[in-house]
C-alpha cells in the first residue's frame, strides 16, 4: 500500500466544498443575470438554437435535438433541466414574453407537463432573434470557452430590453432565492426611456410607467399602495386576486365565474382550489354553493361556481378570497447576479443595470462597425484613385515580372525592374503611394469594375461609407447620440411587440367574510326505527302529529341552530347538528343518521335521543343491564365534540335505558327473571358523566335488567307484562339495591 494521502481537516473540507457548491449554484445555475435576465441554462439553450439556425421563419426542429446539442456543447448537466427550461420559455401563461415558439404539447396552465422531448418541436420567437440574439457577430459581448474548451459561448446575451423585469424569474439557490414577477413590455420600455432621459429619476416617477407587475394570467393586484416600497427595496409581498365575474343563470340563480386566476395558482393549484371550494361546502362553511365546474379550455380559464338563489354574492366572494387561494401572495425578492455577485435590486437598479449594459453593447457594436467602415473607406478610396489612373496601373502590371514587383511599386513606389512606356509614367508610378490593403484590392479588382456605372456605384458606396463613419463616430463620441440610437431601438421593439396590460392594479379592502347568521327557530327532529332522520317545521309536525308519532321512534322539538344528542347502548354520546339534517317535507325520507354523525349502526344501537339545549334543563338517568344506575346533570352533555363517553360501563355491560327527567318520579326496574323493583329516583346518586353507576337492584347470577319504567304517584299507569296488565303503582314501593318482588305471570 502506497496511498498518497493528503490530510484534511473536516471543517475545512466542509467549508470549501460547501462554498464551491453554493456559489456555483448561485452564480451559474439558479439565479438570472441582471443584464439579460437569463439563467445559464436558458441562455445556452437560446444561443444553441441561434447557432443551429432554428429561426422563427424556418421549420420547427425536434426539441430532443436542441436539448442534446445544448447539453453536448454548453450545458453538461441533466437533459431534463434543459428541456424544462425550454418548455417554460415557450409557455405563454408563465412568461409575459415567450422566447421560444413551441409546437406540440407544451403543457398547460393546469399543470399538465409537456410531452416528452422526442415528440415536441420548437424554434425561436421573432422577438428573441431581434432583441436577444442580434449583433452576436459584432463582438458586442464576451465569449468564453465552454466546459471542455472546444466551443465558445456568450457570457451574456446582448438583450436589448430589461428582460429580467419583462419575463421575471424564479429560482432557489443555496441560502437565497429569487422571485421576480413579470411586467408589461411596453411599460418597461417606457420606464427605461424615462431613465435614460433623466438618470436621477425616482422610483415613484418610474412607476408612472411601470404601474406594477403584469402577469400573463391577468388577475388583480390589490395592494397598489405597497408597490412603491417593493420596487424601492426589491422585496415585499404582492397581494393578488383572481378575476371573478357574476353571471345570471337559469331560475334566478347566480353563477360566479372565475375568468382569471392569480399567477400563483398556475399548475396543480387550480385543482387544489376546486377541492378547497368543494370543502367549503362539505364542511358547511357556506350553504351557498350548489355546484362547481371547471369549464376551462383552450379559450381560457372558466371556473363556474353555481350559487343558491338567495346567496350573498359579495360575502361569498370574500369567503373565497379569505379561505382559498383565489387571493394569494406573491413574495417578491428581486435577486439577480450583478457584476458576479448576487444582489437584491429595486426597479431603478435593474433598469440602470440594463441601460448601462445597453451602452456597453452599443459602444462595442459601433466600435466594431466603425472599424469595418474605416477599412472599407480605405479600400474604396484606393479603388477610386486607381480608376482615375487606370492606364498607368495597367502599364505597371504589364511591365512587372511578378505580383510582388507590382505591389512594391503601388505601395512603396519602387519602379526597379518594371518596364514603362515612358519616363513620365515611371515618375508618376513612383508617386502612387497606395496602402497595403488598397494595393491588394487593386490587384484583385475585376475588369468589369471599370465600366462607367460601376465606377459611379463605387463612388456612391464611398459616400455611404463616409456617412456611416460620420454617424458611428458621432454615436461613439456623444452619449446623447448613443442614447438616441438605443431609444430608437427600444421604440421599434415596443411598437412591434407591445401588448395590453393584463393585470389590474388597484387598492382593495381586505376581504372580510361575515358568517351568515341563521335565524334561530324551533323545528322538530324526527327519526324512524330504521335510523333515518330529518327535521320539519313545527306547523307541519302539528298537522301530521299522529302519523309522525306513530312512524317515528323519536320526535321532539329542537333548535335549528342546536344539536341532537344520541345516547347508545355502548355508553357513547354522539351529537348531530340540526343543520346537518335535511329540513323539508314530512314525507321526505331523511338521511341515515350514520351519515351525519359518528354513530355506527353496525356496532351500536340508539337508546335515547334528545335535544341538547333541552337536556340542559333536565337530569339524565342511566340504567344498565347489570342494574348500574346513575343520575347525571344534563348540562354535562353540552359538549362541542361529535362523540364523548356518556357513562362508564363494566365489562360486558350495556346501557338499557337513558331518560331525561325533571320532576319527582319513581323508577321501576324489571329483570329478565321477572323481578320488579319500584323506588324513588332520589335514591340514585348524582355522578359525573365519566363515572360508573351504583347498583340499583340485587340480581341473581344469570339475571339482568330487561326494562325500565317510570311512574308518578298520582298517575295511574299500566304496562303489558306477559298476557296481563300490570298497574305500576301497585308494585310495592321499595328501596334501591334490594331484590324487589317477583310478579307471577
Rounded to whole angstroms, the Cα distance separating 379 from 434 reads: 10
148 or 515: CB nearest another protein: 148
Catalytic residue (choose from 47, 56, 83, 119): 119
- Minimum distance from residue 232 beta carbon to another protein (Å): 22
Count CB neighbours of 577 within 10 A: 16
Q: How far apart are CA 45 and CA 630, in angstroms?
A: 81
Q: In the complex with another protein, which residue's Cβ is closer, 146 or 368?
A: 146
d(CA 109, CA 94) in angstroms, rounded, equals 8
The contacts of residue 654 (CB under 8 Å, 6+ apart) are 569, 570, 571, 624, 625
Q: Which three cell numbers stand for residue 659?
A: 331518560
4 sits near another protein (criterion: CB under 8 A): yes
Nearer to another protein, 153 or 349 (CB): 153
Task: Tell me how far, at minimum, the Cβ of 197 lies from another protein, in Å.
Answer: 35
Min CB(148)–another protein separation in Å = 4
CB of 25 or CB of 194, closer to another protein = 25
Among 309, 341, 587, 724, binds another protein (CB under 8 A): 341
Contact 196, 167 (CB under 8 A): no
Cβ contacts of 604 within 8 Å, gap of 6 or more: 568, 569, 570, 572
CB of 144 to another protein, least distance (A): 8
**Binding to another protein in span 76-105, by CB under 8 A:** 76
With H, G, I as helix, E, B as strand and everything else as coil, classify residue 450.
helix
Min dist. Cβ of residue 63 to another protein (A): 22
Position 488 contacts another protein (CB under 8 A): no
Single residue of 57, 149, 339, 519 touching another protein by CB under 8 A = 149
Instruction: Please give the residues from 569 up to 588 whose contact with another protein meets the rule CB under 8 A.
Output: none
Q: C-beta of 335: minimal distance to another protein in Å?
A: 11
Sign, Cα dihedral of 234, 236, 239, 240: positive
The answer to whether 52 and 72 are in contact (CB under 8 A) is no
Question: Minimum Å distance from CB 143 to another protein?
Answer: 13
Q: If binding is defined by CB under 8 A, does position 40 make contact with another protein? A: yes
Nearer to another protein, 25 or 741 (CB): 25
Torsion of CA 457, 461, 466, 470, to 10 degrees: 130
Q: Which stretch binds another protein (CB under 8 A): 85-93, 143-151, 241-249, 566-574?
A: 143-151
Report 7-26 residues binding another protein (CB under 8 A).
7-11, 13-26
Quick one: three-class SS letters along 207-243? CCCCCCCCCCCCCEECEHHHHHHHHHHCEEEEEEECE
What's the CA gap between 273 and 109, in Å, rounded? 14
* Range 300-329, binding another protein (CB under 8 A): none
The answer to whether the beta carbons of residues 194 and 206 sit under 8 Å apart is yes
27, 235, 370, 719: residue in contact with another protein (rule CB under 8 A): 27
> Is residue 470 near another protein by the rule CB under 8 A?
no
φ, ψ for residue 672 (rounded to 5)?
-60, -35
Cβ-based burial of 707 (10 A; exposed 0-12, middle 13-18, buried ≥19): middle
Q: Tell me how far, at minimum, the Cβ of 8 lies from another protein, in Å.
A: 5
CB 66 to another protein: min, Å: 20
| Residue 34 phi, psi (nearest 5) | -65, -25
Give whichever of 5 and 550 is closer to another protein, judged by the CB atom. Answer: 5
The one among 92, 112, 143, 147 contacting another protein by CB under 8 A? 147
Indicate which single residue of 57, 59, 137, 175 sits in contact with another protein (rule: CB under 8 A): 175
Task: Write a three-state SS string for 512-557.
Answer: CCCCCCCCCCEEEEEEECCCEEEEEEHHHHHHCHHHHHHHEEEEEE
HEC states along 590-613?
CEEHHHHCCCCCCCCCEEEEEEHH
Q: Of 64, 115, 136, 176, which lies in the binding site for another protein, with binding defined by CB under 8 A?
A: 176
CA 182 and chain centroid, separation: 14
Q: Which stretch binds another protein (CB under 8 A): 173-181, 289-297, 471-479, 671-679?
A: 173-181
Identify any residues that bridge with 725 across adjacent strands, giving them in sequence order: 720
How many C-alpha atoms does 470 have within 13 Å on its Cβ side?
Answer: 6
Binds another protein by CB under 8 A, chosen from 52, 136, 174, 741: 174
Q: Which of 696, 658, 674 is nearest to 745 (CA)?
A: 674
Q: Determine whether 119 is an active site residue.
A: yes
**Do 234 and 250 contact (CB within 8 A), yes or no?**
no
- Of 81 and 570, nearer to another protein (C-beta) is 81
Residue listed under C-alpha cell 359579495: 314
Q: Collect all residues with Cβ–Cβ distance below 8 Å to 550 and sequence separation of at least 6.
A: none
Judged by CB under 8 A, the number of residues near another protein is: 37
Which grid cell is 366?
459601433
- Residue that the C-alpha cell 299507569 belongs to: 717
CA 611 – CA 559 distance, rounded (Å) = 8
| Consecutive H or E run containing 440 | helix 436-444
By CB under 8 A, is residue 356 in contact with another protein? no
Rank residues 13 and 459 by Cβ distance to another protein and give the closer one: 13
Which of 6, 640, 725, 745 lies at the binding interface for another protein (CB under 8 A)?
6
Write down the least CB distance from residue 235 to another protein, Å: 14
Q: Which of 147, 470 has the CB closer to another protein?
A: 147
What the block records as the C-alpha cell of 110 is 393546469
Distance CA 564, CA 645 (A): 15
Binding-site member from 28, 197, 467, 518 for another protein (CB under 8 A)? 28
Burial 207-246 (b: 16+ CB within 10 A, else e): bebbbbbbbbbbbbbbbbeebbebbbbbbbebbbbbbbee
Rg of the chain over Cα atoms, rounded to whole angstroms, equals 46
Residue (41 or 280) nearer to another protein, CB:
41
Options 1, 602, 701, 715; binder of another protein; rule CB under 8 A? 1
| Residue 10 or 448 having the CB closest to another protein | 10
Stretch that binds another protein, among 49-57, 170-178, 370-378, 664-672 (CB under 8 A): 170-178
CB of 337 to another protein, least distance (A): 11
Q: Based on CB atoms, which residue is closest to another protein, 341 or 545?
A: 341
Report in angstroms how near the CB of residue 246 gets to another protein at its nearest.
44
Query: Pick from 148, 225, 444, 723: which binds another protein (CB under 8 A)?
Result: 148
The residue within the footprint of another protein, chosen from 5, 539, 701, 715 (CB under 8 A), is 5
By CB under 8 A, name the binding residues for another protein: 1-11, 13-28, 40, 76, 144, 147-149, 174-176, 341
- List, by residue number, the catalytic residues: 119
Amino acid at each position: 500500500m502506497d496511498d498518497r494521502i493528503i490530510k484534511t481537516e473536516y471543517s475545512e473540507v466542509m467549508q470549501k466544498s460547501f462554498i464551491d457548491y453554493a456559489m456555483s449554484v448561485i452564480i451559474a445555475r439558479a439565479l438570472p443575470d441582471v443584464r439579460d435576465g437569463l439563467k445559464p441554462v436558458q441562455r445556452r439553450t437560446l444561443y444553441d438554437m441561434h447557432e443551429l439556425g432554428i429561426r422563427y421563419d424556418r421549420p420547427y426542429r425536434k426539441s430532443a435535438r436542441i436539448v442534446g446539442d445544448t447539453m453536448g456543447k454548453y450545458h453538461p448537466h441533466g437533459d431534463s433541466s434543459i428541456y424544462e427550461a425550454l418548455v417554460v420559455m415557450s409557455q405563454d401563461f408563465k412568461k409575459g414574453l415567450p422566447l421560444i415558439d413551441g409546437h406540440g404539447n407544451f403543457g398547460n396552465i393546469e399543470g399538465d407537463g409537456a410531452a416528452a422531448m422526442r415528440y415536441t418541436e420548437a424554434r425561436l420567437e421573432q422577438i428573441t432573434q431581434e432583441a436577444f440574439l442580434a449583433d452576436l457577430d459584432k463582438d458586442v459581448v464576451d465569449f468564453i470557452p465552454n466546459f471542455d474548451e472546444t466551443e465558445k459561448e456568450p457570457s451574456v446575451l446582448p438583450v436589448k430590453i430589461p428582460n429580467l423585469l419583462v419575463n421575471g424569474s424564479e429560482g432557489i439557490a443555496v441560502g437565497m432565492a429569487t422571485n421576480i414577477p413579470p411586467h408589461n413590455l411596453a411599460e418597461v420600455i417606457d420606464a427605461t426611456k424615462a431613465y435614460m432621459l433623466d438618470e436621477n429619476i425616482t422610483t415613484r416617477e418610474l412607476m408612472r410607467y411601470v404601474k406594477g407587475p403584469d402577469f400573463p394570467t391577468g388577475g388583480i393586484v390589490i395592494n397598489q399602495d405597497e408597490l412603491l416600497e417593493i420596487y424601492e427595496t426589491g422585496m415585499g409581498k404582492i397581494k393578488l386576486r383572481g378575476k371573478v365575474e357574476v353571471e345570471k343563470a337559469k331560475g334566478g340563480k347566480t353563477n360566479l365565474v372565475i375568468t382569471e386566476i392569480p399567477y400563483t395558482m398556475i399548475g396543480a393549484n387550480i385543482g387544489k382550489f376546486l377541492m378547497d371550494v368543494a370543502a367549503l361546502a362539505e364542511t358547511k362553511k357556506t350553504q351557498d354553493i350548489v355546484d362547481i365546474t371547471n369549464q376551462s379550455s383552450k379559450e381560457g380559464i372558466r371556473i363556474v361556481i353555481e350559487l343558491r338563489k338567495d346567496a350573498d354574492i359579495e360575502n361569498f366572494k370574500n369567503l373565497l378570497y379569505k379561505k382559498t387561494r383565489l387571493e394569494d401572495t406573491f413574495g417578491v425578492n428581486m435577486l439577480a447576479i450583478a457584476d458576479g455577485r448576487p444582489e437584491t435590486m429595486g426597479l431603478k437598479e435593474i433598469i440602470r443595470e440594463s441601460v448601462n449594459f445597453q451602452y456597453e453593447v452599443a459602444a462595442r457594436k459601433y466600435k466594431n462597425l466603425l472599424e469595418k467602415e474605416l477599412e472599407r473607406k480605405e479600400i474604396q478610396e484606393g479603388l477610386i484613385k486607381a480608376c482615375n489612373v487606370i492606364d498607368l496601373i495597367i502599364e505597371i502590371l504589364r511591365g512587372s515580372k511578378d505580383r510582388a514587383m507590382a505591389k512594391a511599386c503601388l505601395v512603396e513606389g519602387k519602379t526597379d525592374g518594371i518596364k514603362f512606356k515612358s519616363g513620365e509614367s515611371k515618375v508618376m508610378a513612383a508617386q502612387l503611394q497606395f496602402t497595403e490593403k488598397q494595393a491588394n484590392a487593386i490587384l484583385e479588382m475585376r475588369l468589369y469594375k471599370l465600366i462607367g456605372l460601376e465606377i459611379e456605384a463605387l463612388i456612391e458606396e464611398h459616400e455611404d461609407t463616409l456617412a456611416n463613419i460620420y454617424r458611428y463616430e458621432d454615436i461613439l463620441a456623444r452619449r446623447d447620440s448613443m442614447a438616441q440610437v438605443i431609444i430608437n431601438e427600444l421604440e421599434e421593439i415596443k411598437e412591434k411587440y407591445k401588448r395590453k396590460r393584463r393585470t389590474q392594479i388597484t387598492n382593495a379592502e381586505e376581504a372580510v367574510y361575515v358568517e351568515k347568521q341563521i335565524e334561530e327557530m324551533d323545528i322538530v327532529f324526527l327519526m324512524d326505527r330504521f335510523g333515518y332522520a330529518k327535521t320539519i317545521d313545527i306547523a307541519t309536525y302539528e298537522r301530521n302529529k299522529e302519523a309522525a308519532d306513530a312512524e317515528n321512534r323519536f320526535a321532539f322539538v329542537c333548535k335549528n341552530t342546536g344539536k341532537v344528542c344520541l345516547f347508545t347502548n355502548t355508553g357513547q354520546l354522539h351529537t348531530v347538528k340540526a343543520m346537518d339534517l335535511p329540513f323539508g317535507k314530512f314525507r321526505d325520507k331523511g338521511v341515515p343518521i350514520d351519515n351525519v354523525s359518528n354513530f355506527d349502526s353496525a356496532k351500536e344501537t340508539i337508546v335515547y335521543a334528545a335535544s341538547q339545549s333541552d337536556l340542559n334543563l333536565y337530569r339524565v338517568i342511566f340504567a344498565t343491564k347489570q342494574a348500574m344506575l346513575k343520575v347525571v346533570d344534563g348540562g354535562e352533555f353540552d359538549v362541542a365534540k361529535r362523540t364523548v363517553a356518556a357513562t362508564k360501563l363494566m365489562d360486558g355491560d350495556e346501557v338499557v335505558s337513558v331518560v331525561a327527567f325533571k320532576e319527582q318520579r319513581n323508577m321501576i326496574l324489571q329483570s329478565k327473571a321477572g323481578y320488579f323493583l319500584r323506588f324513588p329516583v332520589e335514591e340514585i346518586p348524582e355522578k359525573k358523566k365519566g363515572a360508573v353507576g351504583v347498583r340499583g337492584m340485587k340480581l341473581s347470577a344469570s339475571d339482568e335488567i330487561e326494562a325500565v319504567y317510570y311512574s308518578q304517584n298520582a298517575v295511574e299507569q299500566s304496562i303489558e307484562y306477559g298476557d296481563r296488565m300490570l298497574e305500576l303503582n301497585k308494585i310495592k314501593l321499595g328501596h334501591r339495591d334490594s331484590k324487589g318482588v317477583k310478579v307471577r305471570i
